[in-house]
Amino acid sequence: EALYGPADPLSILNKESVTRAVFNSSSAWLLEFYSSWCGHCINYAPTWRALARDVSDWDPAIKIGVLDCAEEDNYGTCKDFGVTLYPTFRFFKAFTTEFTQGENYKAGNDREIQTVRQVIIDFLQTSPAQSKPQACPTLEPISSSEISSLLTQKQSHYTAIIFESEESYVGREVMLDLIRYSNMVVRRALPSDKAILEKLGIGSVPSCYLIQPNGSHGLIKEVKCLRAQLSSHLKALPNVRKRLPSDTAHSGLNKDAQQGDVAMKEFDRSKLYMADLESGLHYVLRAELANHRTLEGEKLKTFKDFVTILYKLFPGRPHVMKLLETLQEWLVSMPLDKIPYDAILDLVNNRMRISGIFLTNHTQWVGCRGSKSHLRGYPCSLWKLFHSLTVQASVKPDALANTALGADPQAVLQTMRSYIREFFGCRECAKHFEAMAKETMDSVRTPDQAVLWLWRKHNAVNNRLSGAPSEDPKFPKVQWPTSDLCSACHGQTGGGTQSWNENEVLSFLKRYYGKQEISLEFADHRTEQSEAADGHGNKEPLPTKKPEEGEDLKKNQGPQFLDKLIPNKPEKSVGSEAADTRQSVSFLGIGFSNIDMSLCVILYLTSSLFLMVMYFFFRFRSKRWKVRYSRPFV
Ligand SMILES: Cc1cc2nc3c(=O)[nH]c(=O)nc-3n(C[C@H](O)[C@H](O)[C@H](O)COP(=O)(O)OP(=O)(O)OC[C@H]3O[C@@H](n4cnc5c(N)ncnc54)[C@H](O)[C@@H]3O)c2cc1C
């Protein structure tokens, strides 16, 4: 099944429902922005589900939700929320009318259920009065005088007072556990007034004192003063009833929950598919990188190096290579130390298209398709992409010689290392990869060694992840290539350790990841018109977010600024598989821009006019000639 489903006690949000749910809500929200391909999100899902179940009764005060940033429809939304790493946890206050990116979860990597509960309580308690959910009880302790007056007043409901130390969360947890219950009010008190403690017979904290509706009162002795026991005890008292939920947020929003088992394509495991490489590239350019508003410093350098490597080494089809070349030339001609990513998106999504340059705009996993929608996909394609690049670099050792990267045998690996560090959404993966790189990447001396280094490290990751929840049971993590793919790669196995014939492995990798062997089956052969017709078209520029306070104005000057950023180079015509049937802008594989088309029309009209003028001129002259030389009297 999908990572989260309708049966989970949380709201599964998407680009449409997130704004509706989170803004102007009567309750606060805690959202997990995750990525269904991210192993750590997969590992953490059971905890998040358990947390949502644990605090499901707190719903009128705080709601728990999830949003999958790997869903194509949600790319723009995650970008708007400034989410670049997964999982990211954000709080949203109640009654927020303006768009906000929310507040980051404050306990770092400690996301155990108890810690999250306490962080939620701190968030609710410190929210300003105007954004306190109405249903949220007063979480502050009551004073001795209030306790004394409660003891003397007659109430129509139970009042439970939990005496506890200042740092204890039991009282506040029990208060929130009971907000949906009628006839019960829970308060907390600090053990500061010795006289009142003595009067009530409280010898130690935590202790729980109960005032009955009939005015009688006494210590609760039946259960220990621990959250679960106390909450269950109070909920079970006579006439204490659970109120119906005030809204149907979960059931309503979970309509958007999608995906279950994925129909598998028939594919050949011994082949590398172009569809996987292009889908990965699409995800990199339009989702992972697009989450970054501007590229500068190390990020910009990494992006430039990455594009250089792709342009020189990606084993792609002509129209994709043209896109990479144009992007590379554009970056080289752009001596800026800060580039808004929207400018790059505009170039890739809009400007290149009018010249017939086209990269698939949706993911189509074949060899990387998981048996469940949250398994495999993007990280699988990223591994394949970098394996292909190392192999291409070893086949064409001079490819990078005239670039800023030079003929460095580590160029692809170091660029991969920077990409993973700067952009890869799975932070834990990046940490592990960096540790491996730090250890041995420097020892790589030749392009062939780079191919083998990546192969070895990928197998080390496979070994570590074997049996993890992110492992697809239909694609177990094995030491690769298995002997059915390459029996010669496997040496004698002695003492339980696997031995490899590395020369054979190298030849196999060069063959498997070599350009000639890539299968074009399932690759996107559609044209722009057919995309639009089947609903996958994405000709709209990706959304740009409202400027934030204090943000660099330049970033948000819209199209005019982009025009200045993008040099007015004449559009180049290209032959392209995807472009050859685009009637309005392309003819016989030659791309025409709007300017080209306008020039054609102007030239056509001018030449027609010229021909007409010539025609009348000669007609007039011939008439005069006839009149002059005709001799009617002869
Ligand atoms: C740099 C990086 C680090 C990661 N770190 C983590 C992590 O710490 N924790 C986590 O949960 N997930 C991590 N992931 C994701 C994880 O490695 C897998 O990509 C993901 O679980 C999907 O697995 P998969 O079954 O598609 O196979 P993948 O491991 O993604 O492999 C994809 C394909 O590559 C081929 N292949 C397999 N092994 C090799 C090899 N040794 N050499 C060449 N080709 C091979 C096979 O055809 C395989 O189907 C990381 C991903 C990347 C790119």
- Look up the ipTM and state it: 0.99
How far is it, in rounded angstroms, from Cα 528 to Cα 350?
Answer: 12
| 542/178 Cα distance (integer angstroms) | 45
pTM for the model: 0.72
How far is 565 from 341, CA to CA, in rounded Å? Answer: 11
- Ligand 1 midpoint to CA 493 (Å): 24
pLDDT digits (tens, 9 = 90+) for 404-414: 898 899 999 99
Are residues 279 and 295 in contact, defined by beta-carbon separation less than 8 angstroms? no
Nearest to 47 by CA among 104, 106, 91, 4: 4
Residue 262 included in any domain: no
CA-proximal residue: ligand 1, atom 28 (nearest)? 380
User: What is the residue-averaged pLDDT of the chain?
Assistant: 84
CA of 383 to the centre of ligand 1 (A): 6
Nearest Cα to 322, choosing from 340, 305, 310, 334? 310
Q: In the prediction, which pLDDT does 541 show? A: 35
Same domain, yes or no: 470 and 609: no
Tell me the best of 271, 383, 455 to mutate to test the pocket of ligand 1, counting ligand atoms within 8 Å of each CB and taking the most.
Answer: 383
- Per-residue model confidence as pLDDT tens digits over 160-197: 999 999 999 999 999 999 999 999 999 999 999 999 99
- pLDDT given for residue 551 in this prediction: 39
Model confidence at 464: pLDDT above 50? yes
- CA of 36 relative to ligand 1 center, distance in Å: 15
Closest atom, ligand 1, to C-alpha of 420: 1
What confidence score (pLDDT) does residue 538 get? Answer: 39
Number of domains the chain contains: 4
| 316 and 194 share one domain | no
C-alpha to C-alpha distances, 385 to 252, 292, 398, 416, 480, nearest whole angstrom? 40, 21, 20, 10, 16
Residues 112 and 217 in one domain: no
In a shared domain, residues 30 and 71: yes
Both 106 and 209 in a single domain?
no
d(CA 215, CA 205): 23
Q: Both 340 and 465 in a single domain?
A: yes
Question: What is the distance in A from the centroid of ligand 1 to the CA of 33?
Answer: 22
Whole-number Å distance between alpha carbons of 611 and 597: 21
Catalytic residue among 38, 69, 426, 486: 38
Residues facing 339 on adjacent strands: 295
Q: Please list every protein residue whose CB sits less than 6 Å from any atom of ligand 1.
A: 39, 368, 376, 379-380, 382-384, 387, 420, 428-429, 432-433, 455, 458-459, 461-462, 465, 468, 470, 472, 475, 480
Q: Tokens 């990280």 sit at which residue?
A: 379
Residue 79 shares a structural domain with residue 153: no
388 within domain boundaries? yes
What is the model's pLDDT at position 263? 61
Quick one: tokens of 16? Answer: 């449409």
> Among this protein's residues, is 489 annotated catalytic?
no
- Mean pLDDT is lowest, of 448-462, 566-580, 619-633, for 566-580
CATH number, domain with residue 404: 1.20.120.310
CATH at residue 120 = 3.40.30.10
Q: What pLDDT, on a 0 to 100 scale, did the predictor assign at position 261?
A: 56
For residue 377, the ligand 1 atom closest to its alpha carbon is 26
- Residues 513, 387 contacting (CB under 8 angstroms): yes
Predicted confidence (pLDDT) per residue in 3-62, tens digit: 999 999 999 999 999 999 999 899 999 999 999 999 999 999 999 999 999 999 999 999
Q: For residue 511, what is the enclosing H or E element?
A: helix 502-512
Question: What number does the ligand 1 atom closest to the CA of 456 have?
Answer: 41
143-147, 244-248, 284-288, 354-358: range with lowest mean pLDDT: 244-248
- What strand order describes the sheet that includes 217-219? 184-189, 158-163, 207-211, 217-219
Compute CA 573 distance to the chain's CA centroid, rounded to the nearest angstrom: 34
Whole-angstrom Cα Rg for the chain? 33
Q: Are residues 90 and 124 in the same domain?
A: yes
Q: In this predicted structure, what is the pLDDT of residue 335? A: 82
Q: What is the pLDDT of residues 251-310, one digit of tens each?
A: 334 433 344 455 666 789 999 999 999 999 999 999 999 989 999 999 999 999 999 999
The pLDDT of residue 133 is above 80: yes
Cα(274)–Cα(271) distance, integer angstroms: 10
State the residue range of the domain holding 124: 11-131
The verdict on 387 and 454 lying in the same domain is yes
- Which ligand 1 atom is the nearest neighbour of the CA of 272? 47
pLDDT of residue 248: 38
Active site residue 69: no
Mean pLDDT value of segment 465-491: 92
Q: Assess whether pLDDT exceeds 50 at residue 87.
A: yes
- Cα dist from 524 to 166, 319, 345, 359, whole Å: 62, 12, 20, 9
Instruction: Mark which of 242, 264, 290 sits at the end of a domain.
Output: 242
Rounded to the nearest angstrom, the distance between the alpha carbon of 260 and the centre of ligand 1 is: 22
